[in-house]
Amino acid sequence: MPGDRLTRRVIRVTVLVHFCAIKQGVAMEEKPVVQIAKAPASPVRVRILRILEEGERCGCELVPLLNLDPSVISRHLAVLSRAGLVESRCDGVRVLWRMANPEIPVLLRCLGNSTREKEAV
């Protein structure tokens, strides 16, 4: 069932996030690990995080980079924000997004490495 597959993926990502945080010595925020782990469960959200690694971006700048409708990008940013992975600020009419913690890219790399190691086995 699709729901079961998603649940297994969220559990797997949750364990990886927790493992990587411990391995890298990153203190987890007050957000539940499961909520944080759900955020990178979508390839689009991972791409957004990779883009934000380069620095603060306006949500409108993500539209051509991701080739998605602004409303879809907005929903993905909301998920990342609820998980505490990104923050926003207003600059006039623009909403600028940035990583909430400078150690998030470290966790993303660790997750990527753990996934590649598992696929190689």
Which class is 2-120 in CATH? Answer: mainly alpha
Per-residue pLDDT tens digits of the chain, which is 121 residues long:
455 665 565 556 566 565 555 555 555 554 566 666 677 778 899 899 999 999 999 999 999 999 999 999 999 999 999 888 899 999 999 999 999 888 778 777 776 665 444 444 4
Domain residue spans of the chain: 2-120
Spatial separation of the C-alpha atoms in residues 67 and 70, rounded to whole Å: 9
Spatial separation of the C-alpha atoms in residues 19 and 65, rounded to whole Å: 31
- Side-chain-facing half-sphere of 112: CA atoms under 13 Å: 11
For the chain, report the end-to-end CA distance as a whole number of angstroms: 25
Q: Residue 40 carries which DSSP code? A: G
